[in-house]
Amino acid sequence: MELTDKLPAIVEVLPAGPEQQPILANLLELYAHDFSEFHEIEPGPDGRFGYNDLPLYWSDPNRHAFLLRIDGKLAGFILIKSIPEASHDGPVWDMAEFFVLRRYRRMRAGMEAAHRVWTDFPGLWQVRVMQSNRGAHRFWHRAIATFTRKKTESVVVEKEGKLWHYFLFESA
């Protein structure tokens, strides 16, 4: 599928406060459901996938949660975290989780949202994508190349028996 030429009128990336944790928890269920196609995850006995680290986004100053709204409607979320990196001065940001509802995909809104976060959090960035998630790999390759205005490549890393693509780039 191709990207549409229509960019929604308004793309908002809004910090999520602790009072919005239930909203994020609900969206994380949709994200986990989509992700289960590529990753061996199963819902628990209560029928929910859950996300154990979610409360850390309001207690750990190195983590940040955002809600994505498109034309005023809830459309997804972004979770980022700073990770320690001994070989780099300054923060190394990790795109921990990124989700856009299917209805709003291929509208360039996700790319716009990622670009805003990268601009707001300068430094070295890493984006990880499971090798089996080819659509996400194409999205991140395009989003990063558009943002950096440079040719971008990923490095394949094996982690816990799975192959991942790691993109590393700088946001000034």
| Nearest residue to 131 via CA among 99, 156, 160, 94 | 156
Average pLDDT over residues 134-159: 93
**pLDDT, tens digit, for every residue of 42-82?**
777 786 778 899 999 999 999 999 999 999 999 999 999 99
Q: Is there a contact between 92 and 84 (Cβ–Cβ < 8 Å)?
A: yes
Average pLDDT over residues 24-28: 96
The DSSP string of 81-144 is EEE--TTSSS-EEEEEEEEE-GGGTTSSHHHHHHHHHHHHS-EEEEEEEETT-HHHHHHHHHHH
Q: How remote is the C-alpha of 93 from its chain's centroid?
A: 11
- Alpha-carbon distance 109 to 127, whole Å? 18
Indicate the pLDDT class of residue 84, thresholds 50, 70 and 90. confident
pLDDT number for residue 108: 87
Mean pLDDT of the chain: 88
The domains located in the chain, with CATH, are 11-171 (3.40.630.30)
